[in-house]
A = this chain, B = another copy of it.
């Protein structure tokens, strides 16, 4: 956690700065495993950044470092100008596996209320906020039900509602749509784009699906194989209005896709 030394005043717009991040698991033992070698990038306010990389590249590790859940072995993560030591209040997190991150012993409403009560929000306000959050992901009617009574896509929506309920400034998502079917996935992708447009939050999303990354993001950070470095940062200028059928068939989309595929596929590497 050699963070203070690298601290530099950032532009007013920058929310997150990752500088020379390295993460070695079991450091100092003979099972030492370098997951991330050197990763640097930054995320501006209101931006949608996707991180893509092959399986085992260290994407989840990177996200855990960015969120403050894990501490880096070297390098620094700066959130809103302050070096990261713990999970910041204004951070929302959505994990890959909804089945593991929602608490099955709580109703959906209680799951969403959990971070609110941890922030000591009064009961009345809390109830209103829970209803509102669930509404915003199109699930007005499931507050009383349990997560396991919902389909996978709906569960992931509840997880998103929970992360949004306390109005974070930065939303981090780890392969949030990996385990839902194609159609639900399209729906959720559009949902997250809409939410982001409405609330104006900054989003960092990890995925290994190149199409998804292009469709969603303003900028794509492409990671190499493990131990990962940043292979390229690709700008995506598809505009604000995107639709699953049209956008994905546009010439711009396809050329970006070709470019990214050539970055990711080993034969072309």
Contacts and interface: CB of A to CB of B under 8 A. Distances in A.
Nearest to A153: B55
Contact of A261 (B208, B244, B254): B244
Interface residues of A, number: 29
Contacts of A208: 181-183
A172 interface: no
A249 interface: yes
A54 interface: yes
Interface in A241-269: 244-245, 249, 254, 257-258, 261-262, 264-266, 268
- Say whether chain A's binding surface is mostly helix, strand, loop, or mixed: helix
Contacts of A179: 179
A96 to B, nearest CB: 12
B55 A266 contact: no
A21 interface: no
Contact of A183 (B54, B180, B211, B257): B54
Interface of A: 54-56, 151-153, 179-184, 186, 208-211, 244-245, 249, 254, 257-258, 261-262, 264-266, 268
